[in-house]
Structure 1
Amino acid sequence: MPPEQYETYEHDVLIIGAGGAGLRAAIEAKAQGVSVGLISKSLLGKAHTVMAEGGIAAALGNVYSDDSWRVHFRDTMRGGKMLNNWRMAQFHAQEAPDRVLELERWGAVFDRTKDGLILQRDFGGHRYARLAHVGDRTGLEMLRTLQQHAVAQGIEVYMECTVTRLLKDGDRVCGAFGYRRSTGQFIVFRAKAVILATGGIGKLWKFTSNSWECTGNGVMLALDAGADLIDMESYQFHPTGMVWPPSVRGTLVTEGVRGDGGTLRNSKGERFMFRYIPEFFKAETADNEAEADRWYTDKKQNRRTPDLLPRDEVARAINAEVKAGRGSPHGGVFLDIASRRPADYIVRRLPSMYHQFKELAGVDITKEPMEVGPTAHYMNGGIRVNAETTATAVPGLYAAGEVAGGLHGGNRLGGNALSDLLVFGRRAGQHAALYAKSLFGMPTVEATRLDAFAREALIPFQGEGTENPHAFQAELQETMQALVGIIRKETEMREAIARIEQYRQRLPQIRVDEGRAYNPGWHTALDLRTMLTVAECVTRAALERKESRGGHARDDYPSADPRFGSVNVVVCKRDGAVVTSLEPILEMPEDLRQLLREKG
């Protein structure tokens, strides 16, 4: 296939991923006066950001004037079990309020206090109510606002394109190679800088809140290009996903239900979370049901209900109740807001949840409890980046949003994801543009490399095997769900590694028929190479961390080990093989360390 047959475009800054981080990066890069290209795996406006429901965490102080970036920083570090990149956590807490107010200036419509300020709700792990929200559709409103602002700036958007490889000129990244999903036409992007904003990896598991796009493409692209990954073992299982009916199992039930007063109960009607309050939180958590109820009516106590503990704690508690035989009929627990709030309040504050359960499960949440259980939700780790610039170890390559690791450490607090997109999306766009402006001339791309990438992408059409890509993907998801799920142990994870290697040997046997235009079998076949590598990264990192901390829980090492409390698990590729290592966390300055010593 000669080079002239490739559809080719040139931009100073190329952004792969059109969710919250990608759009915010595009807006900032455009503001720096450079040419910007934005690639979307799906249609513009359909990115996974729309699935974020509860709110944007930012210390605006609109509900509690005592809130500040310092308290937000402390909550984020504690929630992340101190594995966080403290500099990222500092930038995030300091800059999130400005990013929310900026979103408001661009037209975002938030729920309001009686005084007309942006209303903020409670979420797990946050000392104060600090989530700016639009009912339970915050991600949708955020994406709508960013999208309209980006389009108004004249940013070039390439919809329904999948990137399969990054292009390099020597050591630095100089573009991307992929194809149009609608036609199968190969497409080449030449660029001075590339930003990865591709989201997460949730489709590795059978039960997930993630949409179909979340197959780990950005992680694989960065790894192949020479970047490092960090904290891949610390995957977050959200405690509340739908468990019934089976066709929608894993669909997210926003933490806003609990933030607005909902409580978790087992089959005996007990508020079981009182059994699972960690020592660390006991000083500031309601000790019994009556006190927890008073917490809701007198927020001046600033105390947490155990239903709003960090997500890793709640998910493991639900898992324990189900295993103990105290679960709901369909293998979850009950989430009750019907007995806690009036029907009109529920419909007004949680409209998406009301319609979701009414239409998908036949449950009226204003009259009866929901059945919920843990669901694969969020990649706490990801590509290792510089805190200030979001640059990776590969010149010209940047990353922001869920695909980038460091901010959340061992466990993400609810609401921090959306503010992460805004804060580090902006930083990525700014610094990628500055880097691009420092270069003269567009980098070169070897035609032979493009031909090799094209041949690689067409292999599924040429195989003579009988493997079905969709069945293959389902088998991998079953393996990850069973062997590298919410609770792990060495024997099962080593079995997972063995299976992943067997799957890799079977890849050449995948057969795809029909043409390249809108061929979901081909798309899935290409995703499988990515998913196998990312699954191996998660599993090997989990084997390396021989303790339980945050989103990483091991049955054979059930306690946190101080030896692992100040190290990150780093994953990279060496001679084509995935390897792991332990690296010490950068020491925190004394003024920030002092914040973490403060009570509350």
Structure 2
Amino acid sequence: MNETPPTDAGTRADTVDYETVDRRVLVIGAGAAGARTAIELVERGVDPADVLVVGKRAHGDAHTTWARGGINGALGTLDPEDDWTIHAADTLTEGHSLNDPGKVETVTRRMPGILRELEDWGMEFSRTESGDIDQRYFGAQSFRRTAFAGDYTGEALLDALVDRAQALSIPYRENVFVSRILADDGRVLGAVGTDLDTGEFVVFDAEVVVLAAGGYTGLYRRHSSRDDENTADGPALAYQAGATLMDMEFVQFHPTGMVGKRYGESWDGRLVTEAVRGEGGRLYNAEGERFMERYSPDQMELDARDVVARAIAKEIADGRGTDSGGVYLDISHRGRDFIETRLPRMYERFAELGVDMAEEPVEVAPTAHYGMGGVRVDDEGETDVDGLYAIGETMAGVHGANRLGGNSLAETVAYGAVTGEAVADRLAEREVHGADELGEHAAVHLHDLADLANSDGTYDPAAVFDDLRSLLWDHTGILRDADGLENGVAGLEELRERASDLAVGDRTSASYEFALDLGFALLTADAVLRSARERTESRGAHFRTDFPDATPEWRRNVVVRSDSVGTMDLSTSPVGTPSDAVQAALDRGYELDYHQLE
């Protein structure tokens, strides 16, 4: 057990006890991206004892399990003409040409081999009659490219990765909340966390830190995550350490989240997988109209998520929604046997709630689902801070202005492999450095954490967090305008004042965790609002009613940095150019023919 030294010339001479954990590589986040990184490290010769994976929840309980629809890779099982260049072209098209083409090509090139690798590791894919990995259409893709395991693909993926990691004896530590990345002179030194079971502080001494801590859609009032997930840990931790954020204005609202009193409050916003539409589900308004004929007569329900989400929002706004503020999604025409086989978890979920999908529609409305923005990284996943990497939903660049369905899981495992390879090479080339006087770098934050616990303020952290969620939903939701964004930025100031006067329990309490989440949330919400205000056009998931069209001059990424005095500074940077092979696929203009699903 260690103690922090006095801080600030003795003005706070009390000491704080903490545990020190020394590893060459610290992976923060135990979902698919973090697990795949750790696996790659060990398979490339890094001693498992030099690696530690930490997560906020029990091992194997990560947001990955909620990704049900599928994982993309151009295997060509059913459509042999498909290949990685067409997958890349679809990704760039869906991203409205704001993606980093190099990162897109990295993911799409690697995915066929990674799907085969996952098959070798025991992932339980759904199969064709001949025993091959089955694939299906998944919103706005040109071919059947989405591999799946029923409608529980994320769960099957994480199970396979956890089994592989355990077979390699990769150490992990669960229920640890990492609240600060330690860095000095542009180089990462480690991290500080709290063991949520014991309340003990932990200081991690690490040469390399990999952030695989998820995204930021849990900051919205209606969202598809559990309430303690995707609360902006990853982007905020990186930004506080000196990294740059990018594309934060692009938040994907999945068209079909659960809505309606019959489901209960705990299910509000939970995802009804896109696979329901991929398997032929149809959308109807309260008047019984199949309304996508008005908005996308060719692709219908399988158009891009932003198109379908805005269509549903428009139907509801125009008074054609249900009493609960939703529309109906109906797949009953496909028959009971088909639904039970292809969508087993969805069928079971709704059956438990008293709804038979084989007999009646389910009620849905848009829900915040994925943040395309995140931390700006290089081709190997490294941030502006030497030794700090960010992957999975924490990173930006792959998805551009809107994410292609099935690409989120693909990104996690593809970049897990890429970053694991890069870090393994880095460790082989460098001596172990160890951070001198690590406690001094951690001291101020440790004292702040100690002061936060048991603080006797006025406001409940969970209540302030809920108000933040409402603010983002109201001011930077599906439809945005200048007045709303300005009001949102101004509203954050009042929330910051309340956040400085919190009533918090001990370090094992839910209120302590909410207070830490709130700090991340305020920072990240500011970046989202300011980036949305900066982009005076509509592109992908970012729709400005006062600037409804996309403009060529805005084919640039909005980047967010902290300036020399700690103020949030926004600028733009140009987008790269696809390779000749991918450009050729773009020029050929592949597009999904909706009739193939009828």
Contact 2:214–2:234 under 8 Å retained in 1: yes
1:451 to 427, 431, 443: 443
Q: Which runs of 5+ in 1 are unaligned?
A: 278-284, 287-304
SS of the aligned residue for 2:512 comes to: helix
1:332 maps to 2:326: yes
Aligned-residue offset at 1:589: 4.0
Aligned-residue offset at 1:512: 1.2
Q: 2: distance between equivalents of 1:594 and 1:59?
A: 17
> Residue 275 of structure 1 corresponds to which residue in structure 2?
294
Matches within 5 A, 1:41-52: 41-52=56-67
| Amino acid paired to 2:583 | R
Contact 1:53–1:139 under 8 Å retained in 2: yes
2:507 to 516, 520, 523: 516
Q: 1: distance between equivalents of 2:216 and 2:577?
A: 30
Deviation sequence 1:562-586 (CA, Å, 0-9, x none): 2112x10111111211121111112
Matches within 5 A, 1:120-135: 120-135=135-150
Deviation sequence 1:351-408 (CA, Å, 0-9, x none): 1111222223x21111000111100000111111112x11111110111101110000
Matches within 5 A, 1:206-221: 206-211=221-226, 212-221=228-237
> Residue 42 of structure 2 corresponds to which residue in structure 1?
30
1:486 maps to 2:505: no
Q: 2: distance between equivalents of 1:27 and 1:590?
A: 33
Deviation sequence 1:265-311 (CA, Å, 0-9, x none): 1112211112112xxxxxxx73xxxxxxxxxxxxxxxxxx4110010
Matches within 5 A, 1:168-179: 168-179=183-194
1:436 maps to 2:427: yes
1:53 maps to 2:68: yes
> Residue 87 of structure 2 corresponds to which residue in structure 1?
72
> Residue 528 of structure 1 corresponds to which residue in structure 2?
518
Matches within 5 A, 1:91-490: 91-211=106-226, 212-245=228-261, 246-247=264-265, 248-277=267-296, 286=298, 305-338=299-332, 340-360=333-353, 362-387=354-379, 389-444=380-435, 445-461=437-453, 463-490=455-482
SS of the aligned residue for 1:6 comes to: strand
Q: 1: distance between equivalents of 2:426 and 2:126?
A: 38
> Residue 593 of structure 2 corresponds to which residue in structure 1?
none
Contact 1:13–1:436 under 8 Å retained in 2: no
Aligned-residue offset at 1:124: 0.4
Q: 2: distance between equivalents of 1:572 and 1:352?
A: 42
Contact 1:346–1:354 under 8 Å retained in 2: yes
- Shift of the 312–499 alpha-carbon distance from structure 1 to 2, 3 Å rule, reads same
1:501 maps to 2:493: yes
Contact 2:243–2:384 under 8 Å retained in 1: yes
> Residue 301 of structure 1 corresponds to which residue in structure 2?
none
> Residue 12 of structure 1 corresponds to which residue in structure 2?
24
Aligned-residue offset at 1:462: 5.5
Aligned-residue offset at 1:215: 0.7
Contact 2:24–2:432 under 8 Å retained in 1: no
> Residue 543 of structure 1 corresponds to which residue in structure 2?
533
Deviation sequence 1:104-161 (CA, Å, 0-9, x none): 0001111111111000011101111111111100000000000010011111101000
Contact 2:272–2:346 under 8 Å retained in 1: yes
Deviation sequence 1:539-591 (CA, Å, 0-9, x none): 111011111111111111111112112x1011111121112111111233444
> Residue 578 of structure 1 corresponds to which residue in structure 2?
568
Q: 1: distance between equivalents of 2:63 and 2:147?
A: 19
> Residue 2 of structure 1 corresponds to which residue in structure 2?
3
Aligned-residue offset at 1:218: 1.0
Contact 1:470–1:524 under 8 Å retained in 2: yes
SS of the aligned residue for 2:164 comes to: helix
Q: 1: distance between equivalents of 2:32 and 2:196?
A: 22
Contact 1:193–1:433 under 8 Å retained in 2: no
- Shift of the 525–176 alpha-carbon distance from structure 1 to 2, 3 Å rule, reads same
| Amino acid paired to 2:3 | P
Q: Which runs of 5+ in 2 are unaligned?
A: 5-15, 591-598
Contact 2:205–2:438 under 8 Å retained in 1: no
Q: 2: distance between equivalents of 1:430 and 1:8?
A: 27
TM-score by length of 1: 0.93
Deviation sequence 1:433-475 (CA, Å, 0-9, x none): 2223322133214322322111111333364421011111111
> Residue 282 of structure 1 corresponds to which residue in structure 2?
none
SS of the aligned residue for 2:334 comes to: coil
1:569 maps to 2:558: yes
Deviation sequence 1:57-89 (CA, Å, 0-9, x none): 111000111111111111000000000000111
SS of the aligned residue for 1:407 comes to: coil
| Amino acid paired to 2:288 | G
Q: 2: distance between equivalents of 1:106 and 1:589?
A: 32
TM-score by length of 2: 0.93
Q: 2: distance between equivalents of 1:324 and 1:560?
A: 24
SS of the aligned residue for 1:168 comes to: strand
RMSD of aligned residue pairs (Cα, Å)? 1.4
Q: 2: distance between equivalents of 1:591 and 1:357?
A: 44
Contact 1:204–1:476 under 8 Å retained in 2: yes
Moved more, 448-457 or 343-352: 448-457
Contact 2:255–2:309 under 8 Å retained in 1: yes
| Amino acid paired to 2:378 | N
Deviating above 4 A after TM superposition, structure 1's stretches of 4 or more consecutive aligned residues are none
| Amino acid paired to 1:310 | A
| Amino acid paired to 2:561 | C
Q: 2: distance between equivalents of 1:550 and 1:25?
A: 30
SS of the aligned residue for 1:571 comes to: strand
Q: 1: distance between equivalents of 2:460 and 2:502?
A: 6
Aligned-residue offset at 1:596: 1.4
Q: 1: distance between equivalents of 2:369 and 2:441?
A: 36
Contact 2:85–2:581 under 8 Å retained in 1: no
Q: 2: distance between equivalents of 1:498 and 1:511?
A: 24
Contact 1:13–1:192 under 8 Å retained in 2: yes
Q: 1: distance between equivalents of 2:248 and 2:99?
A: 13
SS of the aligned residue for 1:509 comes to: coil
SS of the aligned residue for 2:500 comes to: helix
| Amino acid paired to 2:539 | R
